[in-house]
Every structure is written in C-alpha cells, then in structure tokens.
Amino acid sequence: MSALAADDVGFLAALERFGVRFLWHPGLSEEDGADVVALLNAVRDGGRRLDALCVEGAVLRGPANSGRFQMMSGTGRPMADWVRDLAARARNVLAVGSCAAFGGMPTASDNPTDATGLQWLAGETGGVLGEGFRAGSGLPVINLAGCAPHPGWIVETLAALALGDFDLADLDSLARPRFYADHLAHHGCARNEFYEFKAAATRPSERGCMMENLGCKATQAPGDCNLRRWNGHGSCTDAGFACIRCTAPGFEEPGAPFLETPKLAGIPVGLPVDMPKAWYVALAALSKSATPARVRRNAAADHVVVPPSCRPPKR
C-alpha cells in the first residue's frame, strides 16, 4: 500500500521509466494459481531470468526448522524453501520492509514461529539465507528497512540496479541503501525549532518536540522521511506521531511503550546519535533557559498561538 503512492504516476509507471517490470506480485499481478507456480518453477529451474527478487515480510522457519508455519499455497513447499531457491537464481535480492530485513514485528517477544529476516535477525547476521549469501551481482541482500519503507526508496533502488549504478559502497553496515540511511528522520523535521529549545510536547496533540516525553526517536533513526516526505507532503512527526525508529533492527521491542520516553534521573535514555550524555544535559539546560515565550506557548498548543514577530529589517 505504501509503494502504490510512488512518484506522481504511481508505482508501476515509475518503475517502467527505468525499464523495470514485474514478473509477478501477489497483489499487483493478474496471474494466479497454476500460472504462478509455473512461473516460479521456470525461475527456479533457470528457464526464466530474475533480475531482482523482492521479498516482503519475515520468513517463518518453525516449527522445528521445518518451515511449515508458512507454506506457499499450491506448491506444498515452505516459503523458506522458495526464498532460498529463487534467491539462488536472482541477480539481486531485496528485503522490502523491516520484517523482511531484520525480522521485525513477528520476531518480538519469544518469537514462537521462529521468524527471521532474509539475511539478518535483529542486529545479527544469518537469517534464512545465511551470512555468506551473495546474489548473482555479488551483493548481499539489500535491506530496504522501514515499516513501511518509503516508496521512493523502493523505486530508486530498483532503478539504480537496473541502470547498473549500485554497488557495495552504496550500502551501510546493515546493508541499507545509503542514499536514505545516511540521513536521520530528525533531518528536516518540522518540529526542529522546538527540539532546539527543548520545548517539549506532553500530549500527542501538541506541537512541541516529542523526544523528551512522547518516545520520539527521530534523532536516532536512519531515514530521510522528513526530507522527501510521504505522499508528497507528510511524515509521522508531521501527523503528531512519534518516530519509532522503524528502519532499525529491534524497533519492535523498544523496552517501553512506543509513545513514552524512558528516562533515568529525568534524562531520556535514548539520546541523539553521537551525543554524550553530559553534553546533552548542558545543552538542554541552556536551551530551556533561552526558550522564547512564543516557542514555549506554541509547543503546548495544537496550533500556532503566537506567530513569529514581523519586525522591519534594520537599516
């Protein structure tokens, strides 16, 4: 559903601009039943070329590593076996979404289904394909992590692969494309003025920064969500919902309610990336002492109460 909002022309047309077309997708293709099984067999047997295998969702390996918790309908075989067979034939393999990349929500708590990502489980390599897996291009599984991933991340990665303009240097240490993973969701956030002055919201309806009280992890979350926006103009934080760091492994078990900031001695446990705790405490105290009354009042409101003053320029 996220991918369908890609670009100004829609997902399929956006991919066609780069000569990319689907062999098959369970929700977007007409083929079903025996036609799909025949297609998958042709790919598995080497009779049909597969440039990119895109897998959505975690792969279930249980019970007892049999894979029978997740069978491929009409084939009598576990999905895990199909993923391994098709990945062995694919020039590139993409894990679309954090569940396919790192296991995601199905792995939370005791993971009773033995769910996993394609090449990672949480922050550890392995997964259903194994740490040493490499696709035909020589690349590991490309992790388009996000819950859900931005449609632009999917389109741009597939376009770069189709144009031959993607290699190992374009992936970060968790095999996420660097064009989005080298940013933070914090970058471009519309609430950054409130963050700078540590003017915090205490309820989701308020306009202030959500890091101090409402569990926002945008300062720790890889992603350009607030730079490219969703559907052209929105993001989680724009909508008043805290960033839950869904592009990172382990986001499904934050250790506290998603919309609550765990603290130690009044200081948020999760601090911005690369910021020592002492620096944060000193900066927060200084920022709060310098907070303009306008920012403080607007932070606790659901709309702009006090607009910026319009002073004539000095001559």
pLDDT tens profile 240-264: 999 999 999 999 999 889 999 988 8
pLDDT tens profile 201-238: 999 899 999 999 999 999 999 999 999 988 878 899 99
pLDDT tens profile 27-53: 888 989 999 999 999 999 999 999 999
Q: Which residues of 219-242 are buried (b: 16+ CB within 10 A; e: fewer)?
A: bbbbbbbbebebeeeebbbeebbb
The DSSP code for 119 is: S
Q: Within this chain, do residues 158 and 221 fall inside the same structural domain, yes or no?
A: no
The number of C-alpha atoms within 13 Å of 302 and in the hemisphere containing its C-beta is: 5
In a domain, 8, yes or no: yes
Q: Within this chain, do residues 97 and 49 fall inside the same structural domain, yes or no?
A: yes
Q: Within this chain, do residues 106 and 231 fall inside the same structural domain, yes or no?
A: no
In a domain, 103, yes or no: yes
- Choosing from 145, 160, 181, the residue where a domain stops is 181
Q: Within this chain, do residues 227 and 206 fall inside the same structural domain, yes or no?
A: yes
What is the domain range of residue 120? 3-181
In a domain, 198, yes or no: yes
pTM score, whole prediction: 0.91
The DSSP code for 177 is: B
In a domain, 172, yes or no: yes
Q: What is the C-alpha separation between 238 and 45, in angstroms, rounded? A: 48
- Choosing from 160, 181, 202, the residue where a domain stops is 181
CATH number at residue 298: 4.10.480.10
- Choosing from 134, 166, 181, the residue where a domain stops is 181
CATH number at residue 155: 3.40.50.700
Which amino acid is located at 141 in the chain?
V
Q: Within this chain, do residues 165 and 256 fall inside the same structural domain, yes or no?
A: no
The rounded mean pLDDT for the chain is 93
Q: Within this chain, do residues 171 and 189 fall inside the same structural domain, yes or no?
A: no
Rounded to an integer, the average pLDDT of 268-290 is 81
243: exposed, middle or buried (C-beta count within 10 Å: 0-12, 13-18, 19+)?
buried
Q: Within this chain, do residues 48 and 89 fall inside the same structural domain, yes or no?
A: yes
Q: Within this chain, do residues 73 and 168 fall inside the same structural domain, yes or no?
A: yes
The DSSP code for 105 is: G
pLDDT at 309: 80
Q: Within this chain, do residues 70 and 193 fall inside the same structural domain, yes or no?
A: no
Length of the chain: 315
Q: What is the C-alpha separation between 176 and 182, in angstroms, rounded? A: 9
Retrieve residue 43's tokens.
Answer: 């790919």
Query: Structurally, how many domains does the chain consist of?
Result: 2
Q: Within this chain, do residues 69 and 198 fall inside the same structural domain, yes or no?
A: no
